[in-house]
């Protein structure tokens, strides 16, 4: 009879001390490492202030710490403060989930992703005093919790939106992102079924998880002047109706309203009134003419190819910006 010995694989590659004194556990991932959960039932959980290292050494090799792994400190209920060092780029899901006493969090500027429910059920997230006047919850330069408001302006200086921050916020209709935004994580706006307008102040498209807008309908994405081509080439953002916002917030029928005409949205186009006998031309933001009549009738219909931002020019009138949805 052959006897088999069951071996339980370790959940980590090696351990090393944190700058704050606790023993931490690491998994080697290529040339870097992630802080991981060793299965805390069998190891001493960290408590108090936890300062994570920017790098660790093993067998003469120094590894940068770039990731806080999945559930790395989940249910470590006696951690009160955590400092994540510069160089960490990813905090994986549930990393500090149910760290009930955690009320102070310091994050680096190097983050490029904050995954699902990282800080849920912590003292910090549960404290209403940590939400701003819009009901938004930030940790430093990162937005980790949304609000039930219909219209939201994300604070200037914000670098990223955490996973599921606005999950199932079905009242949300409009949101404005700041020029500083770098990333939008998994399902950040999943199931936001009323969202119809996103105003982007970033001249460079931020990265967005492929499911950042899962089951959220196609919306108008207003982007800075001369950046439409960049957004049209950017994954995720190119799935929406991109318009270049060259004159400030887009509200509907344009900002520069001519004095002797009326403009009304219609199925597959617009009606222009008050321009009888004059030429009318509609161009897209790249200057391509999409609709034109040499001599308008009293109520002139002009077809438009798709939703977007257009410039309407009537002979003798000031050009008008229109948003067609």
Q: What is the mean pLDDT of residues 103-127?
A: 97
Buried b (16+ CB within 10 A) or exposed e, 206-229: bbbbeebbeebeebbbbbbeebbe
Whether CATH 2.160.20 fits 262-324: no
Tokens of 7: 């071996």
Q: Would you say 144 and 160 are in contact if contact means Cβ atoms under 8 Å apart? A: no
Of 43, 8, 41, 7, the C-alpha closest to 25 is 43
Chain center to CA of 180: 11
How large is the C-alpha radius of gyration of the chain?
Answer: 26
Q: 34 CB contacts (<8 Å, ≥6 apart)? A: 26, 27, 65, 66, 67, 68, 69, 72, 92
The pLDDT > 90 percentage for the chain reads 70
User: What pLDDT is stored for residue 292 in this prediction?
Assistant: 81
User: What is 136-250's CATH number?
Assistant: 3.80.10.10
| pLDDT tens, position by position, 237-285 | 999 999 988 754 433 333 434 446 788 877 778 888 888 888 888 877 6
User: What pLDDT is stored for residue 263 in this prediction?
Assistant: 82
Answer yes or no: is pLDDT of 154 > 60: yes
Answer yes or no: is pLDDT of 5 > 70: no
What whole-number distance in Å separates Cα of residue 322 and Cα of residue 255? Answer: 8
What whole-number distance in Å separates Cα of residue 7 and Cα of residue 45? Answer: 24
Answer yes or no: is pLDDT of 11 > 70: yes
310: exposed, middle or buried (C-beta count within 10 Å: 0-12, 13-18, 19+)? buried
Q: pTM of the predicted model, to two decimals? A: 0.74
User: What pLDDT is stored for residue 249 in this prediction?
Assistant: 42
Buried b (16+ CB within 10 A) or exposed e, 234-267: bebbeebbbbbbbeeebeebbbeebeebebeeee
Answer yes or no: is pLDDT of 8 > 50: no
Q: What is the mean pLDDT of residues 65-86?
A: 98
Residue 288 pLDDT grade (very low, low, confident, very high; cuts 50, 70, 90) = low
Mean pLDDT (the chain, rounded): 89
Task: Give the class (CATH, top level) of 1-130.
Answer: alpha beta
Range list for CATH 2.60.40 in the chain: 262-324
Q: Would you say 128 and 150 are in contact if contact means Cβ atoms under 8 Å apart? A: no
Range list for CATH 3.80.10.10 in the chain: 1-130, 136-250
Answer yes or no: is pLDDT of 197 > 60: yes
Q: How many CB atoms lie within 10 A of CB 118?
A: 30
What DSSP string runs through 196-208? -EEEE--SSPPEE
């Amino acid at each position: 009879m052959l006897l088999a010995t069951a071996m339980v694989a370790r959940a980590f590659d090696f351990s090393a001390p944190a700058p704050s004194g606790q023993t931490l556990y690491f998994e080697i991932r290529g040339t870097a490492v992630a802080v991981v959960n060793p299965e805390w039932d069998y190891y001493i959980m960290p408590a108090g202030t936890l300062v994570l290292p920017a790098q660790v050494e093993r067998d003469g090799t120094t590894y940068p710490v770039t990731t806080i792994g999945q559930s790395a400190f989940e249910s470590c209920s006696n951690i009160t403060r955590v400092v994540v060092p510069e160089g960490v780029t990813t905090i994986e899901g549930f990393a500090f989930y149910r760290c009930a006493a955690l009320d102070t969090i310091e994050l680096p500027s190097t983050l490029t992703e904050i995954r699902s429910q990282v800080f849920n059920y912590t003292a910090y997230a549960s404290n209403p005093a940590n939400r701003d006047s819009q009901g938004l919850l930030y940790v430093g330069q990162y937005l980790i919790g949304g609000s039930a408001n219909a219209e939201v302006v994300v604070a200037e200086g914000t670098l990223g939106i955490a996973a599921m921050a606005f999950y199932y916020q079905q009242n949300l209709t409009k949101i404005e992102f700041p020029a500083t935004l770098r990333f939008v994580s998994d399902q950040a706006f999943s199931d936001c079924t009323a969202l119809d307008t996103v105003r982007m102040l970033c001249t460079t498209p931020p990265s967005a998880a492929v499911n950042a807008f899962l089951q959220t309908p196609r919306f108008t994405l207003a982007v800075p002047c001369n950046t439409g081509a960049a957004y049209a080439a950017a994954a995720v953002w190119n799935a929406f109706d991109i318009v270049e916002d060259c004159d400030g917030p887009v509200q509907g029928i344009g900002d520069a309203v001519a004095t002797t005409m009326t403009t009304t949205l219609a199925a597959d186009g617009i009606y222009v009134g008050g321009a009888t006998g004059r030429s009318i031309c509609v161009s897209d933001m790249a200057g391509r003419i999409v609709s034109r009549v040499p001599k308008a009738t009293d109520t002139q219909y002009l077809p438009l190819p798709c939703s977007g931002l257009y410039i309407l020019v009537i002979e003798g009138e000031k050009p008008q910006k229109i948003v067609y949805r």
